[in-house]
Amino acid sequence: MMMRRTIMGVAAAALAVGMSATGALAQDVTLRMHQFLPPQANVPKQVLDVWADKVQADSGDRIKVERYPSMQLGGKPPELMDQAIDGVADIVWTVVGYTPGRYPSTEVFELPFMVTDARAASSAYWQMFDKHMKDTEFKDVHILGTWVHGPGLLHTNKEVRTPADMQGLKIRGGSRLVNQLLETTGATPVGMPVPAIPEGLSKGVIDGTTIPWEVTTALKVSELVKNHTEFSGSALYTLTFVLAMNKDKYESLPDDLKKVIDDNSGLEFSVFAGGTQADADGLARQIAVDLGNNIVTLSDEETQVWRETAQPIYDAWVADMNGKGIDGQALIDEAKSLMDAYGK
């Protein structure tokens, strides 16, 4: 009888341990992170993997982040935001401009010659997101980070110095405002996600593209075109990015795991991401130098001609935003003020 009780006691204890282990395991979470670039590209390798590894470590490996590069979960890059909203993916990294018109306030950081420093702009972007966009334009998704890349420039199959040199060229533009800028110069904007650029260039579908230096490495752009046009002072343009999480998935996390996500999100992470992208420009530019490519760096005077060409885009954007009930000029002024204040 004693033996039977002992065996039953051991069995009950084992069952209790098993149940508690199962309870602990139930707290473990797998997050599927989806994005459009190959895994060796700068952002996946130096931003997203760093973020995911840190989240896993900080959670004591209770959170596992599965990484799906190059649209491996299906769909096209413009669908990424909806994938996060609908739960097709738990987390996505995407270009906000892939969904033109849906997040109009972010465009303040995509205006031509608006941004000088990626860290300052990414800081301002997060602060303005938190104040103006979190509960309005982005109410259906949980945003983890907001940032911009380093200076956007032109990579073309012929030398470009003036807006007139763009006449008739087919150029891939990364956003609605970039496409407007291309149109003002007489170029034909071509909508095309980043991964399609190499094929577009090699087949002559496009004569050039607008991207920052750091993206050129993974896409081998410096091998496909031999001319690059840089601008003095502020960047020709920048694109806005978000790291976005499905809202229900975030809300389903226990408080301690929510804290892990929160501690790795927000202002500091946004500045890190934007700065990391910008810091990679130098190495990518050196590849073009080593290949003997023609890198044109426009003077202040030459850049001013482009600025004047771009001015109507500001006027049209402010009017468009006002039509949506958003004070466009106030957003411009606030963005400039926050960027100027960065680091002071």
Q: Which helix (H) or strand (E) holds 81?
A: helix 80-86
First-to-last alpha carbon distance for the chain, in angstroms, is 79
pLDDT for 148 beyond 80: yes
Nearest to 160 by CA among 225, 214, 218: 225
Given this chain, do its domains 30-150+239-279 and 152-237+282-341 carry the same CATH topology? yes
Which of 18-32, 194-208, 266-280 has the lowest average pLDDT? Answer: 18-32
Q: Which helix (H) or strand (E) holds 312?
A: helix 300-323
Percent of the chain with pLDDT over 90: 89
DSSP 3-state of 93: strand
- What tokens does 198 get? 């190499």
Res 193: pLDDT: 84
Q: Which helix (H) or strand (E) holds 334?
A: helix 328-341
Interatomic CA distance for residues 56 and 65, integer angstroms:
7
pLDDT for 108 beyond 90: yes
pLDDT for 188 beyond 80: yes
Confidence of residue 27 (pLDDT cuts 50, 70, 90): low
- What tokens does 274 get? 């934007």
**Sheet strands (E) in 118-206:** 142-148, 152-156, 170-173, 188-191
Q: What is the mean pLDDT of residues 24-37?
A: 82
Write down the domain spans for the chain. 30-150+239-279, 152-237+282-341
- Considering the chain, what is the average pLDDT of its residues? 93
Res 174: pLDDT: 82
Nearest to 117 by CA among 338, 318, 289, 298: 338
Tell me how crowded residue 276 is: count the other CB atoms within 10 A of its CB: 22
Res 344: pLDDT: 87
Regarding predicted confidence, which is higher, 125 or 22? Answer: 125
Strand 188-191: give its sheet, edge to edge: 188-191, 170-173, 208-212, 152-156, 227-230, 294-297
Which of 11-15, 173-177, 212-216 has the lowest average pLDDT? Answer: 11-15
Res 8: pLDDT: 46
In sequence order, which residues have a C-beta less than 8 Å from that of residue 100 and are 6 or more positions away? 175, 176
Q: Is 33 in contact with 65 (CB distance < 8 Å)?
A: yes
Nearest to 98 by CA among 205, 188, 174: 174
Nearest to 307 by CA among 108, 97, 163: 163
Confidence of residue 284 (pLDDT cuts 50, 70, 90): very high
- What tokens does 69 get? 């590069």
pLDDT for 12 beyond 50: no
DSSP 3-state of 145: strand
- Output the CATH code of domain 30-150+239-279: 3.40.190.170
The rounded Cα 317 to chain-centroid distance in angstroms is 21
| Predicted confidence (pLDDT) per residue in 194-222, tens digit | 889 999 999 999 999 999 999 999 999 99
- Output the CATH code of domain 152-237+282-341: 3.40.190.170
Regarding predicted confidence, which is higher, 68 or 22? Answer: 68
| Predicted confidence (pLDDT) per residue in 40-63, tens digit | 999 999 999 999 999 999 999 999
